[in-house]
Amino acid sequence: MVMARRGASRAALCVVAMVCAAAVFSVADAAGNTLQLKHRPLTVERIRQGKVERAGAAARRLLASSDEVTGDHAEVITNYMDAQYYGEITLGTPGQSFEVVFDTGSSNLWVPSKKCAWYQLACKLHNQYDSSASSTYVANGTEFAIQYGSGSLSGFLSADTCSVAGFELQQQTFAEATNEPGLSFVMGRFDGILGLAFERIAVDGVVPAFYNMISQFNIQPLFSVWFSRKANASPGGEIVFGGTNPDHFDGNHTYVPVTREAYWQFAVDSATVGSGDFNFCDGGCPAIADTGTSLIAGPTEEVTKLNKMLGATDAVAAECKQYLSSYLPELLQKVKNSTPLEACQDIHLCDKVEGVLRRASRKHSAARRSLASVGARSVFEEEEQGGDICHLCQVAATFIESALASNATDEWVEKFVEDEVCNNLLPASGEGVVDCDKVDSMPDIDFTIGGRNFTLTPDQYILKVSSAGQSECISGFMGIDLPPAAGPLWILGDVFLGAYHTVFDFENKRVGFANSK
C-alpha cells in the first residue's frame, strides 16, 4: 500500500494527527452477509508516513525470484498508515471486539495480545486479546512474524471462535501480536488486520478467515467491496461476504483473470491521460486491487511524469520551497558578510554545529558535487535543530554564495536557490501537489482493463486533504518502487476502488469492476 519524504517545513509530518472523524457505515443485507465498516478521512501526514513505511518494506523484503510466493513475503506491498476503511470482528467466548482493516493485500488475521510487554505502546493503546477470558481458546504457540518497513511485527499463533459479519468461525487460527513496530500501529484507529488475499501467501500456512467462511458455511466463494468517496457519507461503504449488493453498482461487472494467486493481481491493458496526451502502463502492466491502500501507487518514474502532466508540483520540492521562503531573504543578507555556516548560526538554524558544507567549493559546479557527496538528500530525513535543518540552511547558503558572485539581483538569487536546492538537488518524491483552483480543468484518466475503459475524473483522483488545519489538494497517484521480483507493479487502492464496485471471486480466480453508485 502507500508515502513521501518528511520536510522540515512542517512540524513532524511523520507524527500522525491523532484526532480524526470516523463515520460509521451502515450496510444493507445482500446476497451474502454484510459488515459495518468505519471510514477515517485522510490527512497529508498519514499519506506521507504510509509511503515512508511502504518504501521501507519494499527495500527490506525481496520477493523470491521465481514465480512462487510464500507466506513470509505476505507484506512486502502492504502498509496501513493511510488505511481508511475498517470494521469490527470479535474473538473468543464471550466475544472480545476488535477493529480490523479488511485487506486484500495480505492473508493473515492478527490482533494485539494481552501478553505484550508493558513498553509496547501500539499494543497498550488498542484492544488486546485475552486468551484467559475465553472459554473457546485453543493454544497453538507457533511463532509468527511479518516484516514491515518499520520493523518486524511478531507474536504467536492461537485459535478461537471468530465472529465476522454474522459468521461464527470455529477455531480460527490468528496471530496474537506482542511486538508492533512503527507509527502505523501506534496511531492507527484499527487494532489489527484481517487479510483477504490468497492462502498461498499466508504466513505460517494459516488458513485465512474467508476460506473458513466458505468451508464452514458453504457460502459463494466471493466477496464484494463498495467504498463511498463522499466525505462523511452515511452509509459510506460495505463489504459483502458471499455475494454482491446491486444497490451499489450499475450495469455488469467486467471480469479479468487473476494472473498470480497471491495478491489480487491482474493485467491492465493500458492507461491514458486525456485524449492520449500521455500514456503510461504502455503495452500493459501488472496491477493489484488493494483495499488496504488509499491511493494509486506505481513506478516512481512513471508517476512523476504523470503528475507533471497534471500540472502537479513534486511534494518534496513544494515543501522545500515553502520552508526556504520563510528565511531566504534574511539568509541572503547574512551570506553577503559571512560564511554559510556563520550565516545559518546567525539566524538560529545552526547551533554550534560543524557544517557539513564548510568544505564546499565556492564555485557552483564544485558545490553541487560536494553537496551530493555529503548526502544532501538526507535534508528531509529528520527534524533535529542543528541537524538536517542546519544542513538545509547551509545548502541554500552555499548556493547563495555562488550566485552572488555573478552580481545578480537578490530576487534572482532567491529564485535560483529555490530551483537549485528544491527542484534539482533533492530527488523526486513521486507525490504531487496541485492547485485546488485548477482541479476542474484537469483531464480524465482512463485505465483499460479487460478491454473496457475505466475512467477517473479529476474530482476522483485528486484528494482534498487536511494539513495543519488547511486544505491541500494531492494527486491520487503516488510513486513507489518495488523490488524486481515484485515489481514494477501498479497498486489500485481506494482512489480507484471508490469509483468502481469490486468483486473478488475466489472460485473463478478473477476480479470484476462495475460503476459504483
Residues with a catalytic annotation lie at 103, 290
Strand pairing category for 490-492 and 285-289 = parallel
307 within 8 A of 477, measured Cβ to Cβ: yes
Counting other chains too, the contacts that 64-68 makes at CB distance below 8 Å and 24 or more residues apart are: 64/485, 65/485, 67/260
What is the C-alpha separation between 266 and 290, in angstroms, rounded?
12
Burial group, residue 199, by CB count within 10 angstroms (0-12, 13-18, 19+):
middle
Category of 45 on φ-ψ map: left (φ > 0), alpha (ψ -120 to 50) or beta: alpha
Residue with cell 503495452: 283
Burial group, residue 62, by CB count within 10 angstroms (0-12, 13-18, 19+):
middle
Burial track 363-394 (b if 16+ CB lie within 10 A, e otherwise): ebeebbebbeebebeebbbebeeebbbbbbbb
418 within 8 A of 328, measured Cβ to Cβ: yes
Sign of CA dihedral 338, 341, 345, 349: positive
3-state secondary structure 456-511: ECHHHHEEEEEECCEEEEEEEEEECCCCCCCCCCEEECHHHHCCEEEEEECCCCEE
What is the C-alpha separation between 394 and 25, in angstroms, rounded?
51
What is the C-alpha separation between 1 and 507, in angstroms, rounded?
25
What is the C-alpha separation between 289 and 490, in angstroms, rounded?
9
Burial track 211-227 (b if 16+ CB lie within 10 A, e otherwise): bbbbeeeebebbbbbbb
Amino acid (one-letter) located at 187: M
Main-chain dihedrals φ then ψ at residue 148, nearest 5 degrees: -115, 170
Burial group, residue 15, by CB count within 10 angstroms (0-12, 13-18, 19+):
middle
